[in-house]
Every structure is written in structure tokens, then in C-alpha cells.
Structure 1
Amino acid sequence: MEFTLEREKLLIPLLLVNSVIEKRQTLPILANVLLRLKNKKLIFTGTDLEVEVTTSIQAVSGKEGDITVTGRKMLDICKAVNEQTEIKVFSDGSKLNIRAGRSRFTLQAMPAEEYPTLETMDWEERITVNQAELKTLLDKTSFSMANQDVRYYLNGLLLELGDGILRAVATDGHRLAKSEIKVKTGKESEIRQVIIPRKAIMEISRFLNEEKEKVVLEFNQNHFCARSGEWVFTSKLIDGRFPDYAAVLRPKLSLEIDLQREEILETLARTAILTNEKFRGVRLSLSENRLTITANNPEQEEASDELEISYSGDEVEIGFNVNYLMEALRSLKGEQILLKMQDANSSCMLLDPNQPNTQYLVMPMRL
């Protein structure tokens, strides 16, 4: 195999495929990227056996062939080369040679035949969505995913497809985030649920841009795939049953308070300075036309702040993790938000009245 490319053209695909390669591998070849030149198309592939990324460059002249080489080293070499430098890459038996100006590099290589790939079978469902809409959907919910929870099905994000809706739901057992967008589906009556692993969700967000480009999403029993332009992102699914989020989102919350989003966010940020660093608890106290937010810590320090609100019901006092409240508020973009509560033992719900399809539920905590 042999080809010559400008540094910038080679750097972008190497960055994309290296993003899924783990620093510690169970197999030595998993530290490598697969390079394949065929029909003037240079294809890059990286995998950790759970997630696989393939991207390509068109109109590349050279000698056809394939080989695998350590992804991180090849990426570091390209980063270190001066901008707009032409890089020549050619294989020589079990070695890959890189020439850039006066610089010479020789890397150990492994045969392409030994490189593992995800066997995905046939795709059972396919939809096309706007990249910007999908990115927004994931950004509004992914922060609520669990991380290394023993309940493995929480270490990912639920995508639910059906009736012209693509819905994303994430929960770590302490909070829940739900958002949805309208899509065109071929099977309007069937509901399909898949749980995409946390790593896949975090990585695919890097591929999605803010433009109006389209991305094709494909599903089957064991895999999820997203493809757009020159890249293809494939991931295994989590085999488990996601909690009944619809039941969780149906609590009786009769107290409704209208708040200025920026004002409550700034108030929580000030109060959070003196929270317990481990538990991050704040107390929300409702009284007539007033919301009081207090926090204290083991050093006997205390913070308190007040907001004027429109409220005339019973006095209520509830504790919450301030980080959970602030992350939900940052994800809501409207000026006004609606805070719904019930009593000291109930969860609270945050939503934008103008965009009710995005909801955040936060469980209370004892203080």
C-alpha cells in the first residue's frame, strides 16, 4: 500500500477513528487502526469491539492494499508535522513507513486480516434525521446517564422510535431526562426501544455538527448504526430492560411555580459554593410569594438566598442535589421555566412551558 496526502486531510480521519480506541486493550491489535486503499478510496477503521468507526477520503491515488498500525503513534506523528506538509505513507512487509519533508518514521504493522470488525447482520429499521436535531436531542438527555452502575442497563441512553417520534431517555436512578423530536418512520404503529452504551453516545456527539446535514440511523436486535457522508459509526446495544420511564414521569405534582431560568440558575450557583462537596445538597423552601434556597456544610458554614415568586399555598421544604438541578436548567433554553413539586418526599419536575416535550425529573434527598 502506498499513498501521499496533505497533513490536514490525513489528520481529521485519524482523529475520528482514534476517539474510540481504548488506552488499555485486551488484544494488541485493538491499539491499531485499519488502513485500506481500494478504488481510489482510503478507508480508516478503529474499534474496541463495542464501538466501531469507519471514515474515508475519496480520490486518493496510489498503490492499493491494506494494513494496520498503532493509531495513537500515527496520529501523534501527523500532529507533529508542519501544517500543509505532504505526507507519504507506504508499507514494507511488517513495517509502515511515513515520510514528511525531511522527517522519517518507521512503525510496526500487523496484517489487516487479523483486524476484528463488528458483525452487524441486516438492519431492521432505518430513519433519516437532521444532524443538528439529533445532537440537540442527545445533549439534552445524555448527562443523566449512569456511569459504571451495577444496573448495567442504566449505563446508556434509551432511544425509542415509533409513531413518528424519536425519543431519548436517560436516568441514573437519581434523576431522569426525556426529550423527543419528530421523524418519518416506516412503521408508524410499532415501538422500538434500544439502549445505546454510554461510550457510544459520548463519541457520536463528536461526529454530529450544527449544520442541516442529514444522518441515517439504522437499528437491529443487537446493533445501532449512524452514517453520514464519509463516516459510519456502529455500536453494540445494551441487552437489558430499561425502566418504565412513562410511569416515573406521572407523579402527582400539584404545586407549579414559574421562574426566570437565568435567575434561579444564578441563585443556585451562588448557594452551591457552601454545599457539602460530596453530597451537594441544597434545601428549597416554599412560603408565600417566596422561594428560599439554603445550603450548609460540615464546617458549619451556611448560604441562603431568596427569590420572589407567585405562590400562595402551603409551606414546603425539599432537599435536592444542586448539580442535578443546575444541569437540567442549563439544558433548558427558554427564559421561563416551570418547576413542579408536591411535598417534602416527592420529586420535582423542570420543563420549558413552550417546549413540554423536554422534561427533567429530580429525586429528593434527605438533608
Structure 2
Amino acid sequence: MKVVITRIELVNLVGKIQNIVPVKPTIPILSNILIEAIDDQLILSVTDLTVSVRIYVEAKVLEEGAITLPAKRFFQLIRELTAIQVEIHAPSSEIALVNAGTSRFKIQGMHKDEFPKFPNLSEGIQLNLSSSQLSYLLSRTSFAAARDDSKHALNGILLQSLENTIVFIGTDGKRLAKNNIEIDNIPTDSSSYIIPLKAVEEMIRLLDSKEDDPVTLTLMPDKIAVEFKSVTLITKLLSGQYPDVSRVIPEQIANPIALNRDELMSLLRQVSLFTSENSNSVRFTFTTGELHLSAMSGSIGEGKVHMPVNYGGEKLEVAFNPNYFLDMLRHSKDESVHFSISDPYNPGLITDSTSAQFVIMPMRLEVNVS
């Protein structure tokens, strides 16, 4: 194999995919990056056996071939090079020569046949949407997913394929985010897929949220794939049963409380400074025309703020984790959001002008701030 490519292009390519390489691989080959020179393309692939990414770019291929090289060391090397172009030459299946200007390097690699094969996508169900749509759905859902939860299925987001609609749900048991979008080419049979959070975060990172470039989402029984521009990401699905979240999503009340998003975020950030690690909760007190927020910590002090709201019911006191509430406000899109809650013991529902639903569980009310 012998290929020539600009250093900037090579650094950008490897930088996009090197997060997939596991820090502590279960087998040595997983710490390597597969480099293939085929036709007029340089193709790079990495995998951790759950998430696999392949990316390609046009390059000057002098000799076709392939080799795998240590991903971390290779990335560190090409970042430090100063030459405009880089030549990668693999005279054997386990040795690569990297030439850049007057610099010469020899890197010990591994045979390409040891690298796991990329899955076949030809038999999957294909859905078409834009990069901005998919990025939007994933980012507004994944923040609520669990991390390292003993309930394995919660460490990912649920994708449901329904008639003319795909639904994304993330929850850690304390909060929930649900988003959906209508698309035309969905099969009539409904299906569910649990996507690992690592794969979701890589999709968000790779997708261009500001562009409407076409994305192909391929659904298979045990994996899904996202194809976007020159990138293909494939992930295995999480096993297990995702909880039936429909039972915890409250119905929006007839006259929900309108909350100014920016003002509430500012006040929540202020008063949350007076919460402690042991009691990370803020008291929400709704009275006629006002919302009072308060928090107290014996070692820090206490904070009280308030804002006008369109509440006209009986006094209502409920406690929430301020960070969870801020996350939901941050992922809402309107200047004013709607908040539905029935009592201090059942979850609250935040909605905006989109189809999104954000659910937050209440916390135990502490003793009143004096």
C-alpha cells in the first residue's frame, strides 16, 4: 500500500473517529485503526466491537493495500507533523512507513485480516431524514438517558418505529425526554431498538446539526447504522426490555403554567448555588401570580428568588433537582414553555411548541426555609 494525502485532511479524518478506539481494549487489534487504500480513496475504520465507524476521502493512491496501525500513537504523530503532505507506505502487512517532508517514521502494525469485519447493511430497513433532524432528535433525548445504570437498557435511548413516525425516548428513572418526527417511508410494522449512549453521542458529534444533508438510517434486528456524507457508523443494540414509559408521562393539564424559559433558567442557576450534595433540591412554591424558588444549605446559606407566572390555583409546593430542570429548559426551544403538574408527588411535564415531552420526577420536600 502507498497513498499520499494532505496532513490536514488526514488529521481531520482520524480526529473524527478516534474517540471510538477503546482505552482498554479486550483484544489488541481494537486499539488499532484500519487504513485501506482502494481505487482513489483512503478509507479509515475503527471499532470497539459495539460501535464501528468508517470514513473515507479522496486521495492519491499509488499502490492499493491495507494495514492496521496503533490509533492513538498514529494520531499523535500526524498532529505533530509540519509537512503539507503525508505519504503512508506499507511495504509489508505489518510495517508502515510514514514520510512527511524530511521526516521518516516506521510504525509496527498488525495484519488487516485480524481487524473485525464491517457488518453487511443490505438487508436492513432504510429510513431517510436530514442530518439536522437526526441531530436535533438525538440531542434533545440523550441528555436524559442513564449512565452506568444497573438496568442495562436505560444506558441508551429507545428508538421506536411506528406508522409514519419515529420516536426517541431517554430516561434514567428520575427524568425523561421524548421526541418524535413524522417521515413517509416507515414500514407499517412497529419495532423498537435500544441504541447505546456512546453510539448516540458519536452520532451527534459526527452529524452536522446546521445542515440538511441527507442521512440514511438503517434498522436491523441487532444493530442500526447511520450513513452521512463520507461517514458510516454502525452500532450493536442494547439487549433487555425498555420500561413502558407511557405510564409515567402525565397528561398536559387544561391550563398549564407558562414559564419564561430564560428568566427561570437564570433564577434556577442562582438559587442552585445554595444546594448541597446531600440535598440537591430546589423548592418550587406556586402562589397566585408568582413562582418562588428557594434552597438552603447549613454550610452555605440560603437563597430565595421569585418570578411572575400565570398560576391561579391553591398554593402548591414541590421540590425538583435544579440541574435536571435546567437540562430540560436548555433543550426546549421556545421563549415560553408550559409546565403541567397535579400535586407534589407526581411527575411534572414540560412542553413547548414542538412534539417534545420532558418529564421530571419530584423530590422529597425538605423543611421549609425560614
Percent sequence identity over aligned pairs: 27
Structure 1: how far apart are the matches of 2:300 and 2:11?
53
Conservation of the 8 A alpha-carbon contact between 1:122 and 1:220: no
Structure 2: how far apart are the matches of 1:50 and 1:279?
37
Residues 37, 246 of structure 1: CA spacing in aligned structure 2 closer, same or farther, 3 A cutoff? same
1:125-204 to structure 2, matched below 5 A, reads 125-187=125-187, 189-204=188-203
Residue 332 of structure 1: SS of its match in structure 2? Answer: coil
Conservation of the 8 A alpha-carbon contact between 2:316 and 2:344: yes
Residues 276, 191 of structure 1: CA spacing in aligned structure 2 closer, same or farther, 3 A cutoff? same
Residues 71, 20 of structure 1: CA spacing in aligned structure 2 closer, same or farther, 3 A cutoff? same
Structure 2: how far apart are the matches of 1:310 and 1:212?
38
Query: Which residue identity is paired with 1:89?
Result: I
Structure 1: how far apart are the matches of 2:33 and 2:256?
54
Over residues 248-277 of structure 1, what are the superposed CA-to-partner deviations in whole Å (9 max), with x where a residue is unaligned?
214575672111111111111110111113
Show the counterpart of 2:271. 271
The structure 2 residue matched to 1:358, chosen from 356, 359, 362, is: 356
Show the counterpart of 2:290. 290
Residue 299 of structure 2: SS of its match in structure 1? Answer: coil
1:123 to partner: Cα distance: 3.1
Show the counterpart of 1:29. 29
Structure 1: how far apart are the matches of 2:74 and 2:279?
43
1:75 to partner: Cα distance: 1.1
Over residues 24-58 of structure 1, what are the superposed CA-to-partner deviations in whole Å (9 max), with x where a residue is unaligned?
11111111001111222221110000000001123
1:71-110 to structure 2, matched below 5 A, reads 71-82=71-82, 85-93=84-92, 94-110=94-110
Structure 1: how far apart are the matches of 2:65 and 2:214?
31
Structure 2: how far apart are the matches of 1:293 and 1:11?
48
1:17 to partner: Cα distance: 2.5
Residue 16 of structure 1: SS of its match in structure 2? Answer: helix
Over residues 59-102 of structure 1, what are the superposed CA-to-partner deviations in whole Å (9 max), with x where a residue is unaligned?
532111111001111111111112x6111111133321111112
Conservation of the 8 A alpha-carbon contact between 1:254 and 1:341: no
TM-score of the aligned structures, taking structure 2 as reference length: 0.94
Structure 1: how far apart are the matches of 2:336 and 2:91?
64
Tell me, which stretches of 5 or more residues in structure 2 are unaligned? none
Structure 2: how far apart are the matches of 1:307 and 1:138?
32
Show the counterpart of 2:316. 316
Show the counterpart of 2:346. 346
Show the counterpart of 2:204. 205
Conservation of the 8 A alpha-carbon contact between 2:144 and 2:172: yes
Tell me, which stretches of 5 or more residues in structure 1 are unaligned? none
Residue 106 of structure 2: SS of its match in structure 1? Answer: strand
Show the counterpart of 2:238. 238
Conservation of the 8 A alpha-carbon contact between 1:16 and 1:53: no
Over residues 171-214 of structure 1, what are the superposed CA-to-partner deviations in whole Å (9 max), with x where a residue is unaligned?
00000001111212242x32111000010001111110021101
Q: How big is the alpha-carbon RMSD for the aligned residues of Structure 1 and Structure 2?
A: 1.6
Residue 356 of structure 2: SS of its match in structure 1? Answer: strand
Structure 1: how far apart are the matches of 2:39 and 2:234?
23
Show the counterpart of 1:218. 218
Show the counterpart of 2:5. 5
Conservation of the 8 A alpha-carbon contact between 1:41 and 1:58: yes
Residues 64, 294 of structure 1: CA spacing in aligned structure 2 closer, same or farther, 3 A cutoff? same
Conservation of the 8 A alpha-carbon contact between 2:69 and 2:110: yes
